[in-house]
Amino acid sequence: MNISFDNTENAFAYKTSKELKQSKFLFSTMGYPFFVPLGTRITPFLMKTGLPVHGIIRNTIFKQFVGGETLEETHAVGEVLGKYGVKVILDYGVEGKEGEANFEHAADEFIKVINYAATQDNIPFISIKVTGLARFGLLQKLNEAPRLRSGIHDHEEEMDEWERVKDRMFRICEVAAEKNIGVLIDAEESWIQDPIDRLTMEMMEEFNRDKAIVFNTIQLYRHDRLNFYKLSHKIAQEKGFILGMKLVRGAYMEKERERALQRGYASPIQPDKTATDKDFNAAVEFSINNVEGISCIIASHNDESNLLAVKLMEEKNIPLNHRHIHFSQLYGMSDNITFNLAKAGCSVSKYLPFGPIRDVIPYLMRRAQENSSVSGQTGRELSLIKKELKRRKA
């Protein structure tokens, strides 16, 4: 393998030195112990006060992690990434709002994103959340019912409500299939995940006959997900469709453990990071061993997992740009992985959220928390940026 994730020349070729210095300032600031906890509390409040913080946010954290406020604004970012062989996964980064009118609006917005993606050469996928289309309480009630047997629901309205959710999802996937754009359905909290899994499998059975259009997401920090992946593959084989799966480590660990403790049930979370890494890498290997029947997106910021995937592909003589193996990292993070994979000829993309600043604040606060909580993430980003600035100066 000729891939090195320490090659900063490839990693930051798309950024000017001025942009690198701005990123250096941001990650340096995020490295202060009290900055992120304080910032994540006061920023949403400041946005509501009308104080002139919009411009500061736009030119710092928003610019680092978000593609723009509108679909049209993402075009410039997509163009730059495309020059370096990096594709885009578009994500309408606005948090879901409850109410049937809001769910219908979200479905229309997702369809609008698909139609836009179809006009671009560089956007093979979009990302959606089922909580943007369905009431959280409904998903939780369905999750508590192991199977959708008759008699589970007390009220007929809930069955009608679920049918409307399914209809929204069907409309989205139907347009995606027509336009040849993949739909990545995000994983969510374990206590609402089962109905999301079932709905996603239904959509795959309908739309993944000839190629993968619909993708589920598994969070491998859950100790049951590797087994779930293998079971999903078995069902796909039996029913004759291609399984689409995005692999992530996960995003709700603290919340999951806290809820399990409060309610007195066994935590769904792995005992430690080593167990998570082991299952993630096993899922990567399972994907590559079943590459004809599984279309997989390896969404990881972990050097070892990405290198493992490339190594296994080379050992099995699978082309690095195989249509069923795709890599992805978040925009604004791990450029050393993304751009070096692209340079080696892998199919790789940046997950690119967009939306009005006020509406994507929750997303930005999570990115700030993630960078400060993942062991060494901020320091890693900062050291790579410093290394590249030093190389350019030399």
**Is the pTM for the entire model greater than 0.85?**
yes
| CA-wise closest residue to 124 among 158, 85, 167, 164 | 85
DSSP letter string over 288-311? HHTTTTEEEEEE---HHHHHHHHH
Rounded distance, CA 227 to CA 232, Å?
9
Angle at which helices 273-289 and 303-315 cross, to 10° = 20
| CA-wise closest residue to 303 among 264, 334, 271 | 334
* Sign, CA torsion 243/247/253/257: positive
Q: What is the pLDDT of residues 309-356, one digit of tens each?
A: 999 999 999 999 999 999 999 999 999 999 999 999 999 999 999 998
Q: What is the pLDDT of residue 43?
A: 66
DSSP letter string over 213-246? -EEEEEETTBTTHHHHHHHHHHHHHHHT-PEEEE
Rounded distance, CA 145 to CA 262, Å?
21
By DSSP bridging, strand 348-354 and strand 243-248 are unpaired
Show the domains of the chain with their CATH numbers.
67-363 (3.20.20.220)
Supply 380's token pair: 């890693």
Q: What is the pLDDT of residue 370?
A: 60
Alpha helix (H) ranges present in the chain?
8-11, 17-30, 35-49, 54-57, 63-65, 71-83, 100-117, 136-144, 156-179, 190-207, 225-239, 253-263, 273-289, 303-315, 335-344, 357-373, 377-393
**3-state SS assignment for residue 91:** strand
Rounded distance, CA 86 to CA 377, Å?
22
Which parts of the chain have pLDDT scores under 70?
1, 31-52, 96, 146-157, 366-377
Rounded distance, CA 208 to CA 251, Å?
27
